[in-house]
Chain A
Amino acid sequence: MSELLQTTINTLAVGGLYALIALGYTLVYGILRFINFAHSDVVAWGGWLAFTVAGAAGWLAEDGAPVFAVVLVVIATMGLCAAIGVTIERLAYRPLRSAPRLNVLITAIGVSLFLQNVGLKLFGNRPRSISAGTALIRNNEPIAAFADVRILRFDVLPIVLSVALLIGLQWLVYRTRMGRGMRAVAFDERVASLMGVNVNRVVTLTFGLGSALAAVGGILFALRVDLQQTAEAAWVVLGLKAFVAAVVGGIGNVRGAAAGALLIAFVEVFVHTYIVKAFPGRLWIAQLQDIYVFGILILVLLFRPSGLLGKSSVEKV
């Protein structure tokens, strides 16, 4: 019973993290119909920028930092990453708005490589720690512990943050004029512009939002594991899991991203808790953890390409 509870909490925490990043993918895909390969690199930059900002402000000292400092760092990083996202859109994607999808995909790969390698140069290639000993947040103590269940601060943070941001996004997309514009552009770009929606502004907002969320995702991820260098596979795998979450939930669909993220997180936690621990020392099962993500993606794309919450669209000739 307590293990079940622990699993649930872990799932929610990891799922929240994935959801934040998956939203970036799904928002961009919904509006522009392309997969922003560079998104996982914005996530990486989010983590590193937070580290840099916190370091510059002297908050990475041994005794940790007050809560308001954390909030400031997060907000600052969100702003910086939003700027990055908007710039990428403006310089690399906007000129190709009417180009074949393949070209945009290749460009996205180019942007991704660019971000990775510039990040490598800027931030160095040694992994750093943003948490634990040099505490950005004061120790990762259990907030509550009963039976065998430990709710860590680092678990609560993603859950709270992602729920809050998801609710905020839901409000934005469904209750504001701008959100209506986003939904209109996602539905049909040309007609939306005929109806007076400023498509460029909508696209800019989407990229900014997605990147800001990615920044939070990057920070949360960096709090869990050491900050790996930007060209490191860890970020690509993270981005890929989030992308699979978006696809599984139904890409282009905000709630779908959240649902997909929970599902992927659940599978991951489940595999880790029950399968990996049951066969200790069997290294190949740990390797399988990366494979299962692709396996899920391939299965979903083959059998239910529109995802769990997506609407299937028929391709008309």
Chain B
Amino acid sequence: MKSLQERVAALRPSLPAALGRSALPFLIAIGLAYLIDAAIGPAIGATWRKILLDVGIAILLAGSLNIVNGYAGQFSLGHAGFMLVGGYTAAWLTFYGGIHWFGVKGTYGGFLGAGQLLFLGSCVLGGLVAAGFGALVGLPSLRLRGDYLAIVTLGFGEILNRLVQITDRQPKRVEDVQGRSLFELANNLGGAESFSQIPGYTTLFFVYVFAFVLLVFAYRLKYSSRGRGLLAVRENEIAAEAMGVDTTRAKVVAFVFSAFWGGVGGALYAHQISTLSPGELSFQKSIDIVLIVVIGGMGSITGVVLGAAILVILPELAREFADYRMIVYALALVVVMILRPQGIMGVRELWDTSPWRRLVQRLRGGQP
């Protein structure tokens, strides 16, 4: 008879098979993103293409905030700061790097050419730098709860904003840039004026690749033991600690992940609108993202997607009322908090809802 170890080993899938199963959602994600970019994009007209792009970026931003606000229950109001860090870092790399290595100021190369690869790298770099700041922001969260944490994260967002504003101006001529190394130029982020002429690498493909990867990431995080730890911290931190969850680590990790994806979102945003100005990425922007998470449902991935779609598409449809947009948002926030504080989905996902369950049961042929 085989030993226990041999029997266990036989049940475990082989390494290549396991890797394949693990990577499958990501391959599907890339495929879907390509489909959106190549097939759906051209078919829907310029306005709706832009809306689709905005929704994708909103999913990235709100999905990342969801990790710290929704899963871990730590109220962060400084997400725009991570966007800022990611965006500026990525822009620094593509703008100055583009001039250094390709000699041009605009986009360079075709699909997955050198320019786009640089862009990809810059998004990841932006995310990593933002993640570093995320760890920094996460540290005070260990001693602060609720209201105070919100104010401190707000403060961090504003500090990052101010820090960008004290950098030097952005040299825009190719000759000015080529004489100086990238590291020297790290201080030339435009200061209080904007950082402009960022090459427009953002396409539906990249946005949705990152968005879908984030969604898979969020899903896997939520249903992992680490994710359950985060949810436990959200519900009752003391009980979680008593149950053996390392709340310290959980909270900092939540901030780091959230900041990474926020930075990626910021990088994509920067390369979409081509001009980054510190005034735009302030408290107001953080609130916009919080709004999506709150209305969609704090902690729910489908909720975040729904919220992003609603809050990007509705203002487009109600163009004439643009003046009253913020007032409506504000009222919506108050009303939602009073009448349905868990948002549309709460912590549940689409597949947790009863209509879905009934549908699945019926499809499986069980009794209704």
List residues of A whose CB falls within 8 A of some B CB.
34-35, 92, 95-96, 99, 101-107, 109-114, 116-118, 121, 233, 236, 240, 243, 247, 283-284, 287-288, 290-291, 293-294, 297-298, 301-302, 305, 317
Contact = CB atoms under 8 A, between A and B. Distances in A.
A290 B294 CA distance: 29
Report the contact-size class of chain B (Cβ under 8 Å from the partner): 35 or more
B152 interface: yes
B18 interface: no
A244 B329 CA distance: 28
Interface of B: 73, 75, 140, 143-144, 146-148, 150-152, 155-156, 158-159, 162, 165-166, 238, 282-283, 287, 290, 294, 323, 326-327, 329-334, 337-338, 341
A297 B159 contact: no
Most chain-B CB neighbours within 10 Å: which of A114, A121, A247, A305?
A: A114
B337 A96 contact: yes
Given A121-B327, A301-B152, A283 B166 contact: yes
Contacts of A105: 75, 146-147, 150
B151 A34 contact: no
A235 to B, nearest CB: 12
Contacts, number: 100
25 contacts: A35-B148, A95-B338, A96-B338, A103-B341, A105-B150, A106-B333, A107-B333, A109-B287, A109-B333, A110-B333, A110-B337, A111-B334, A113-B326, A113-B329, A113-B333, A117-B327, A287-B162, A287-B165, A290-B158, A291-B158, A294-B159, A298-B152, A298-B155, A301-B148, A302-B140
B326 to A, nearest CB: 4
Nearest to B332: A110
Contacts of B287: 109, 113
A96 B166 CA distance: 42
Contacts of A288: 162
B330 to A, nearest CB: 4
A64 B211 CA distance: 60
A289 B274 CA distance: 30
A298 B326 CA distance: 30
Contact of B155 (A103, A233, A294, A302): A294
Nearest to B77: A109
A287 B17 CA distance: 56
A35 B330 contact: no
